[in-house]
Chains A and B, each alone.
Chain A
Amino acid sequence: QVQLQESGPGLVKPLETLSLTCTVSGDSVTSGSYYWTWIRQPPGKGLEWIGHIHYSGGTSYNPSLKSRVTISVETSKNQFSLKLTSVTTADTAVYYCATTKGYWGQGSLVTVSS
């Protein structure tokens, strides 16, 4: 089965870019079976869908974040990544990578603070 692991800085300054990577094992990011997804959860709040990508390059983003989000696939490293620009404290959350069929990473806490 697919296993996912998020990695990236735990602290980002306001107005900078949040960058996270999800390393995939158990299958290939070029598999046509999956959409590779990012989800976040602010402390004490519910889940928010950020966006997803298919290996063919097709992407879909949350309309409320679309202007700041980029999701991409790195096939050589079997990874996919998230970039969120111009962050504010409202972007502080646990960020999860996930797939269709419902495999999840353990999550990565990102705090936005100066």
Chain B
Amino acid sequence: QAVVTQEPSLTVSPGGTVTLTCGSNTGAVTSGHYPYWFQQKPGQAPRTLIYETTNKHSWTPARFSGSLLGGKAALTLSGAQPDDEADYYCSLSLNYAGVFGGGTKLTVL
């Protein structure tokens, strides 16, 4: 069964830069896996930050960007703010089905 892996937790300093990654046990992640990145704060529904590797929504802060890096999908946060503290999930399309990673708890400290 396909498994998507994320760092369980990361910490970034205010104003700092951090990269979250999203890998697959089936091999290198490509744009054909349609990587998505979601942010979820306590008690709220997830919201999509990045879809299909690099695309942003109108509500996506400019400090977030998506890419492919070293065989994984990556979400880079440049200039972290306290409001960015949240859980971040990625998803990939594997064998025509969606699969979520376990999530990364990002602390801004």
Contact = CB atoms under 8 A, between A and B. Distances in A.
A63 B45 contact: no
B79 to A, nearest CB: 23
Nearest to A52: B98
B102 A105 contact: no
Q: Is the interface of A mostly helix, strand, loop or mixed?
A: loop
Contacts, number: 53
A44 B45 CA distance: 13
Please name the 4 residue pairs, one residue from A and one from B, whose CB atoms are nearest each other, closest first. A102-B48, A49-B98, A102-B51, A47-B100
A17 B70 CA distance: 44
Contacts of A62: 97-98
B3 to A, nearest CB: 12
B47 A104 contact: yes
B45 to A, nearest CB: 5
Interface in B33-49: 36, 38, 45-48
Nearest to B46: A104
Contacts of B57: 102
Contacts of A52: 98
B25 interface: no
Interface in B47-73: 47-48, 51-52, 55, 57-58
Contacts of B103: 46-47
